[in-house]
Amino acid sequence: MTQVIAKSTGTQTKALSILFVAIVGAGIVFFSGHAQSAALHDAAHDMRHATGFPCH
């Protein structure tokens, strides 16, 4: 019983940390690839064109 609980908590922690890393990664991709603020757009401009993001 204790073991089962320990195992499921372990999986939960794992799942949470996976979710966290995935969200950070997606956040970075959104921020550098899609965010439309002018300064960000200008700085990321060439990279956006060169990696196929819809740019402007």
Residues that bind other proteins (CB under 8 A): 11, 14-15, 17-19, 21-22, 24-29, 32-34, 36, 38, 41-56
What's the min distance (Å) between Cβ of 31 and other proteins? Answer: 8
What's the min distance (Å) between Cβ of 15 and other proteins? Answer: 7
CA dist 37 and 42 (Å) reads 9
Residues 21 and 30 sit within 8 Å (Cβ to Cβ): no
CA dist 39 and 43 (Å) reads 6
What's the min distance (Å) between Cβ of 46 and other proteins? Answer: 4
